[in-house]
Amino acid sequence: MLKLLLLGIGLLLFFEGLLYFFLAGNLKKLLDQLASVDPQKIKTISLIMTIIGACLIYFTFNNYGEA
């Protein structure tokens, strides 16, 4: 289980690092646009993404067992 948790954290950091690497030139513009978005929309999108992530984890463990 620890191996799987570390793998997940590693993948998260890897893809987030890639995102910031490729968006470094436009990051300030992106953050300014994000600041203009309604906080309730951000919460809703975050909740939906969290639910989808939890479902993926559940179905992965349910169908493939623990690695």
* Tokens 């799987």, residue located: 4
Long-range contacts of 24-27 (CB under 8 A, 24+ apart): none
Provide the strand spans (E) within the chain.
Answer: none
Tens of pLDDT, residue by residue over 19-64, are 889 888 888 898 899 899 999 999 999 999 999 988 888 888 788 7
The reported pLDDT for the residue numbered 44 is: 95
In degrees, rounded to 5, the angle at the alpha carbon of residue 11 between the alpha carbons of residues 30 and 56 is 95
> Taking the domains of the chain in order of start, what are their residue ranges?
1-36, 38-67
The reported pLDDT for the residue numbered 67 is: 54
The reported pLDDT for the residue numbered 58 is: 84
Average pLDDT for 5-9:
84
Sign of CA dihedral 24, 28, 31, 33: negative
Tokens in use for 66? Answer: 């623990």
